[in-house]
């Protein structure tokens, strides 16, 4: 049972190559970096889908480079699920852009793999990088927000435009908010239809059927209709400086009313019509809030599968995880007990942990020694090539003798140029796995003692971080942690747990 073996996950990744002119002068060729990344992907069982070339491009700013835009587009479209690069400085030297990259990748659920720093965010230890980088990004955003917010109130009171879109139905013209000639009538129709049908989606459907579209040319949605109906600009009162990015920047929080800035504009509908529509919306919202929301209460929900391949669900009547087709069942409490027994049974064994980590250290040391030997050999070959060339240019040997001397050296140099990135990739893989293993061991050592005192949310977060899949079969339970390795419960315990 090895905690260092990486499951061969089928995924497609990209390779980022940015080597400046200065770096190339030092002998760091783009080809070497690409081969090293390809060998790392090969060792992980990944497919290289794209290579993004930024040779001789300064790292001062890369966000606007065409290759960067292509890469980010591929990340958002799920064309690639991760990006491999030799070190963080190759991705971006600009700290602000590095933080932006981390945010964009985290939002797209994609991984960053930096070989030099042994960061692979597909591993638990690598995910700590996201946590750290997100904290830095949040601090920087707060610093910028503090500097900008001071001027927002002043700009709003002067009637100047703030960041953000002018409401649908209006436009910014001649330094003031004015009715839009084509959007205005559509927005008025929106209120009229809602007064008649009182359904957001019905209004959106009817607008779409009439050929109406949003400012961006998209079809109307129920959410867009409700948001537009709520906006008081339509009754002649434009509201500014009333929202701000909430913590994490994922949504906008409403500011205190004392900070709002109101500007009179031409109305689209009367105040009576606006109030009537919003009263209907408030009543619907109140009714929705009366219905209790469905809360996930089960620790392994979404992670537990039957050996037949189907997901297992907990039914309230039985309190057990159950596969509907197979009728296989296991009580929730028993599954949790099996989970912790297997986790702590392995990781809290000093002999097993010591043996695994010692083996990992030995493997890393061996690969580093081999890599060092190859680098020394390469230096010797290049020195001999230089000496042979100097003999030829100094007319100490004939052309035929030079060719006979130089040709095998050149062939050996090419072989080493190919082997070095392969060996470097082997070291990269071992270092990343070793780091991730250390993280799991250190965290799990404390987990057993703290587990009974944790609340559901804390337990669920730990399970989601460590667990890839739990498979319940006949007399056995396979627990795969973070896509790395399966643990099998012993037959007795599993038999007792399975109902």
Q: What is each CA distance from 442 to 133, 166, 411, in whole angstroms?
A: 21, 52, 47
DSSP for 194-215, please give it.
HHHH--HHHHHHHHHHTT---T
CA angle at 161 for the pair 160 and 166, rounded to the nearest 5°: 140
Cβ neighbours for 159, distance < 8 A, ≥ 6 positions apart: 175, 176, 263
C-alpha distances (whole Å) from 374 to each of 43, 253, 363, 424 are: 20, 58, 17, 10
pLDDT of 484: 41
Segments in the chain below pLDDT 50:
1-8, 25, 150-152, 154, 156, 247-250, 293, 483-499
Query: What single-letter DSSP state applies at residue 311?
Result: B
Measured in whole angstroms, the distance separating CA 313 from the mean position of its chain's CA atoms is 27
State pLDDT tens for residues 446-474.
666 677 777 787 788 778 767 778 999 88
Sign of CA dihedral 314, 320, 321, 322: negative
Residues 94, 83: Cα–Cα separation, whole Å: 18
Supply the pLDDT for residue 1: 34
The whole-number pLDDT of residue 334 equals 87
Give the chain's end-to-end CA distance (angstroms, integer).
Answer: 27
Tell me if the pTM is above 0.75.
no
Q: Which pLDDT value is given to residue 483?
A: 41
Do residues 229 and 194 touch, judged by C-beta distance below 8 A? Answer: yes
pLDDT of 462 reads 74
Q: How far apart are CA 414 and CA 422, in angstroms?
A: 13
What is the model's pLDDT at position 179? Answer: 92
Residues of 166-191 as b/e, b for ≥16 C-beta within 10 angstroms? bbbbbbeeeeebebbeebbebbbbbb
Task: Please name the residue ranges forming H helices in 349-398.
Answer: 350-393
What span, in angstroms and rounded, lies between the C-alpha atoms of 366 and 368?
A: 5
C-alpha dist (Å) from residue 49 to 172, 331, 425: 44, 43, 18
């Amino acid at each position: 049972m090895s905690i260092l073996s990486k499951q061969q996950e089928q995924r497609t990744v990209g390779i980022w190559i940015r080597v400046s002119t200065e770096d190339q002068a030092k002998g760091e060729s783009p080809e070497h970096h690409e081969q090293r990344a390809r060998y790392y992907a090969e060792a992980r069982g990944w497919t290289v889908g794209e290579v993004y070339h930024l040779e001789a491009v300064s790292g001062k700013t890369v966000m606007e480079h065409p290759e960067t835009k292509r890469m980010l587009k591929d990340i958002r479209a799920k064309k690639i699920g991760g990006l491999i690069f030799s070190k963080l400085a190759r991705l971006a030297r600009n700290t602000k852009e590095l933080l932006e990259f981390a945010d964009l990748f985290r939002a797209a659920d994609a991984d960053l793999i930096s070989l030099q720093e042994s960061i692979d965010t597909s591993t638990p230890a690598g995910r700590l990088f996201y946590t750290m980088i997100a904290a830095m990004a949040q601090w920087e955003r707060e610093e910028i927000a503090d500097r900008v917010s001071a001027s927002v109130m002043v700009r709003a009171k002067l009637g100047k435009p703030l960041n953000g879109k002018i409401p649908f139905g209006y436009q910014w013209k001649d330094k003031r908010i004015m009715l839009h000639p084509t959007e205005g009538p559509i927005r008025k129709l929106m209120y009229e239809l809602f007064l008649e049908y009182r359904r957001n989606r019905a209004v959106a459907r009817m607008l779409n059927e009439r050929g109406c579209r949003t400012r961006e040319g998209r079809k109307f949605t129920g959410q867009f209709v409700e948001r537009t109906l709520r906006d008081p600009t339509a009754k002649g009162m434009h509201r500014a400086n009333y929202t701000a990015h909430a913590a994490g920047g994922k949504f906008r929080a409403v500011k205190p009313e004392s900070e709002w800035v109101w500007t009179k504009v031409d109305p689209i509908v009367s105040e009576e019509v606006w109030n009537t529509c919003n009263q209907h919306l408030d009543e619907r919202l109140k009714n929705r809030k009366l219905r209790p929301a469905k809360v996930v209460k089960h620790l392994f929900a979404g992670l537990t599968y039957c050996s037949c391949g189907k997901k297992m669900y907990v039914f309230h009547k039985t309190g057990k995880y159950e596969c509907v087709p197979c009728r296989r069942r296991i009580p929730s409490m028993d599954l949790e007990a099996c989970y912790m027994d297997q986790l702590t049974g392995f990781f809290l064994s000093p002999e097993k942990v010591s043996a695994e980590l010692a083996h990992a250290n030995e493997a890393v040391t061996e690969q580093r020694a081999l890599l060092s030997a190859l680098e020394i050999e390469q230096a010797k070959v290049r020195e001999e090539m230089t000496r042979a060339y100097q003999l030829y240019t100094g007319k100490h040997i004939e052309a035929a003798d030079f060719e006979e001397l130089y040709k095998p050296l050149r062939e050996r140099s090419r072989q080493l140029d190919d082997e070095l990135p392969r060996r470097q990739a082997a070291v990269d893989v071992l270092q990343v796995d070793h780091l991730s293993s250390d993280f799991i061991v250190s965290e799990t050592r404390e987990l057993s003692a703290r587990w009974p005192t944790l609340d559901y949310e804390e337990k669920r977060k730990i399970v989601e971080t460590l667990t890839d899949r739990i498979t319940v079969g006949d007399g056995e339970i396979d627990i795969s942690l973070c896509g790395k390795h399966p643990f099998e419960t012993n037959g007795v315990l599993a038999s007792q747990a399975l109902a």
